[in-house]
Structure 1
């Protein structure tokens, strides 16, 4: 019993000291990481507001998905866009809609721009395409950008027209070709819309061809109005009804016809 008490007496102070030591260091270890993280987040917010023109609320939201401690990487991205001819408005639009571009590698961005340029897109074309669809920069060049471009190119039969589609297409690069545009174009063929009219629709309103269910619904509405799917006026009405309320579609059809959408 005496030996047990002696051991207990010897061990207890050590345990007490250990606990006291842990209590001392625990607050420091838990506070250290958040402090660094907070400083980093503050820098990101400051950068987004001062350099990119973000409002504070938007900058705070975007900062949750961005991590950079200094301006070197985002500055490199912004300077690359400036050197390529992007306006400040276009750069702000790209960054606001796709903030992660600020932490992308310039080489990765450059490869996608070089691909578009190799197909005849001017620097102005590239700026418009990316300003309208900055999420293209987050897509795989080989798996998404090139397949989408090739599909459009095969439909319109020229690089010049393909670039026109991309400029007007908004989020066209966000959709998988096989499960979206291939299905919608096949549907129109099967329902009697001539290939030339499908091409015209793609050139003038590519987003109409994005979702099959929505297209089918609009198709039936236009057909009930008495339009013939074999006529160009059908795709004019299809575009008008897809883009506007039923009450205003007739006025819009007349406007589109004045721009060349006539038989």
Structure 2
């Protein structure tokens, strides 16, 4: 049952690993055949690459390995434009570590027009209260067009009644680059309104995980209907957590997890009952504690799910009330976890 909180998990073997594991792939460059002509071209290219790599290391704080990799994406042989970009970022309050994060993810940022392209975007995000660290938390968002993508999307969120504070939260959590506001996002929001989900809950969902609303409309519709059939009330704040818990898993994955629990002796009634009464509130508490850095690791299944009400409150709620005064309200479903 605890595996339901593992948003990307396809297995129940170790849910803790599924939360933190990300895979990367190393591409090996092709071998270029030797010739005098290619040697001459390579020397010229190598000279530019060498300057770029050196600049990325010495001025942007990238490691030699990362700098060499990024030099395949961005190449320049003079420091004028990159220097002007870095100077603007410095004036805008970005420190060296934040600039390094930006360049690692978006190296071609060094070639944009600092006054015409970069500054207006930074001024817009400042206008909604975003700090340098907020902007650096989602480096990809600076790739998007301000007038055609960024402003229309945030105007859409404001039309839903979202505050500037939550706009910043959305900005930090977005995984797509706003090259286009997906039609599915608008349609999925409309679906939630149709089933009676309160505006405040919809805004909590968008602020907590906007990417969920970016998924295929048919898949999202199926997930929402499944929750309604399970008896989770769309009018209650717990419905937000229920969507976050289940809508990242496919129907087949969901059925696989249910089958595993059946083998452990759980009936479908047990599964649905515990999901509504224990699982969702405890997941909310877990999210708060992890986001605040108060838990170093995800608790074991039995400790987290099978403990008594009194024991859970003592170990995971009352223990942290001085640090997070609203934690009990989160557990009771009165306050959204992402609003803290």
Contact 1:222 1:237 in 2 (8 A): yes
Equivalences for 1:1-263 in 2 at 5 Å?
31-107=39-115, 108-117=117-126, 119-121=127-129, 125-167=130-172, 169-171=173-175, 173-174=177-178, 176-213=180-217, 215-216=220-221, 218-220=223-225, 222-223=227-228, 225-241=230-246, 250=280, 251-255=282-286, 256=288, 258=327, 261=330, 262-263=333-334
Contact 2:128 2:167 in 1 (8 A): no
How many residue pairs get aligned? The number is 232
Residue 177 of structure 1 and its aligned partner are, at CA, apart by: 2.1
Between 54-63 and 101-110, the greater mean CA deviation after superposition: 54-63
| Structure whose residues are more often helix by fraction | 1
Residue 235 of structure 1 and its aligned partner are, at CA, apart by: 0.9
Contact 1:208 1:242 in 2 (8 A): yes
Shift of the 109–228 alpha-carbon distance from structure 1 to 2, 3 Å rule, reads same
**Over aligned residues, Cα RMSD in angstroms?**
3.0
Cα deviation per residue 1:146-174 (whole Å; 9 max; x = unaligned)? Answer: 1111111112343343234324x233543
Structure 1 unaligned segments of length 5 or more: list them: 1-26
Contact 1:144 1:173 in 2 (8 A): no
Shift of the 102–260 alpha-carbon distance from structure 1 to 2, 3 Å rule, reads farther
Contact 2:162 2:203 in 1 (8 A): no
SS of the residue 2:160 aligns to: helix
Cα deviation per residue 1:89-133 (whole Å; 9 max; x = unaligned)? Answer: 21111111111101111111001112223x342xxx241332122
Residue 185 of structure 1 and its aligned partner are, at CA, apart by: 0.7
Shift of the 51–158 alpha-carbon distance from structure 1 to 2, 3 Å rule, reads same
Output the CA distance in 2 between the equivalents of 1:222 and 1:195: 18
Question: Rg bigger for which structure?
Answer: 1
Cα deviation per residue 1:48-87 (whole Å; 9 max; x = unaligned)? Answer: 2233232333222211121210222212212211211112
Shift of the 192–28 alpha-carbon distance from structure 1 to 2, 3 Å rule, reads same
For normalisation by structure 1, the TM-score amounts to 0.75
Residue 239 of structure 1 and its aligned partner are, at CA, apart by: 2.2
